[in-house]
Amino acid sequence: MITDFIWKAFEKTGDTRYYLEYKRYRDACCCMKRKQKPGGRMDKTG
């Protein structure tokens, strides 16, 4: 997964830009999972 790759780059370099990218991808991923309803339809409320 891309977040794993970005996290490894952050650990290797200590560059905060990688951490910010990692956080952005992780948050976007979590939001997508949260918005999806059990029927597979996207929730349009938020």
Report yes or no on 44 lying in a domain.
Answer: no
- How sure is the predictor about 1, in pLDDT bands with cuts at 50, 70 and 90? confident
Furthest-apart CA atoms within the chain: distance in Å: 42
> pTM for the whole thing?
0.51
Contact 22, 3 (CB under 8 A): yes
Report yes or no on 40 lying in a domain.
Answer: no
Report yes or no on 24 lying in a domain.
Answer: yes
The three-class DSSP label of residue 42 is strand
DSSP letter, residue 15: -
Contact 35, 20 (CB under 8 A): no
Q: What are phi and psi of 27, to 5 degrees?
A: -65, -40
Report yes or no on 22 lying in a domain.
Answer: yes
Report yes or no on 27 lying in a domain.
Answer: yes
**Structural domain total, the chain:** 1
Domain that holds residue 15: 2-35
Model pLDDT for residues 12-42, shown as the tens digit of each residue = 999 989 888 888 888 877 666 555 555 555 5
Report yes or no on 41 lying in a domain.
Answer: no
